Amino acid sequence: MNKNQLSVRLNGKPVGILEQTPNGNMAFSYDASATQMISVAMPLREEPYGDIQTEAYFGGLLPESETVKKIIGKRYGISPNNNFSLLKAIGYDCAGAISCNEINKPIVTQGPHLLTGRIITDDELYQHIVELPQKPLFMDDIEGLRLSLAGVQDKAAVCLIDNQIALAENGCPTTHILKPPSHHFEGLVENEYFCLRMAKRIGLPVPDIQLRQVKDITYLLIERYDRRIKDKHVERVHQEDFCQALGTLTSKKYQNEGGPGFKECFELLKSTTQPAIDRNYLASALVFNYLIGNMDAHGKNFSLLHYTQSNIRLAPFYDMICTRVYPTLTSKMAMKIGSQYDADNLFARHWEQLCKDINYRYIAMKDIIKNHAEFILKIADEEKEILISTGQYRPIIDNIINVTKNNIKRTLDRFDNG
């Protein structure tokens, strides 16, 4: 067995070999029998892909937190800076339908997997959440669990069985993402819940979400959009984020650090099955993010779903959070609008410039801004009242509403005044 090679499988079917080269870099080669690409940036071909393209895709499957990587490295006796070793340790259940396996691991029969898992008690769940910073991804809570979730925030992948939290067993794909409260940003789970609720009402595709309580901990439960669940069976759906699809390293996810901007994102949507519809959704999402004060909408917060080789669509939106309610966070946008990064200095001319950059009708963009602004003003207070009635209201909701209303007023005034 070659310890420097992993069998990369898509929905359980081998599609290629991930290799750590003698100089410590990674390379990827498709199998001759592969019929579906793993990334728009890595179309099917005979020649191997080198380090930069391979690192952009496979490195993008791993947690971003250096602390989390160090804990995983210590747990498995590997370097936290060696992405190949990390994937070997935790790459069995990644985002989408990709899995990284030992070369000699038996090939599992294709098709939906029976939803199986160990339902845990409230006491167990509470303890798992409390220990999440020390045990990332609920590591060690179930023997043989090897899963990877990209991103910075603490989170864990779980199953929901009979409306109860369960830890996946027997190779079952996880069905939900659990996000605990943040130790750094007060009310973060309520923030994301509130913003995603508004996004859904405005017509944006977003995952199903729940605010749940276990003892004194409120957590967010998000149904995975990269899973199909039917008749107690789970099937993976392949996905990749925009950084992966554009061959951009995770470390360069912000536009001012070399990451994608809206021009590249809209250009990417030419590769989807219904580009006109997906472009309209992305335009709607970028306006919504701006109006609610989400300054952190970078390339890893947008994704593509690969249903088949010839059926690729923009994925539902996620990680929609009002970052402006936290004074320590920047007012600089992750992707600039026109030539402007600073949200407070954005004028109509910058929106017009953006439309030229992305080849989008300016009059259509103005309509989206006006319609979103009017509807958000209507639904924000309604959503607040719902939270009050369910006992889930937190003071941060008022802060979000104030930020949003101020953004809307400033934006509309600047359009009115040219």
Using alpha carbons, select from 188, 408, 133 the residue that is nearest to residue 320.
188
Residue for token pair 């990064």: 341
| DSSP code for 7 | E
- Amino acid sitting at position 228: R
Torsion of CA 317, 322, 326, 331, to 10 degrees: 90
CA 326, CA 212: separation in Å to the nearest integer?
23
CB count within 10 Å of CB 33 equals 9
SS3 state at 396: helix
CA 221, CA 144: separation in Å to the nearest integer?
23
Q: What is the DSSP string of 33-96?
A: T--S-SBTTB-S-SSPB-HHHHHHHHGGGSB--HHHHHHHHHHHTS-TT-HHHHHHHHTTB-ST
**What's the 3-state SS for 189-233?**
HHHHHHHHHHHHHCCCCCCCEEEEEECCEEEEEEECCCEEEECCE
SS3 state at 358: helix
* HSE, side-chain direction, 13 A CA sphere, residue 68: 23
Q: Using the CB atoms, write b or e for 39-56: b if 16+ within 10 Å.
A: bbbbeeeeeebeeebbbb
* HSE, side-chain direction, 13 A CA sphere, residue 150: 28
CA 367, CA 68: separation in Å to the nearest integer?
43
Residues acting as catalytic residues: 296
* HSE, side-chain direction, 13 A CA sphere, residue 29: 11
Q: Sort residue 391 into left (φ over 0), alpha (ψ -120 to 50) or beta.
A: left
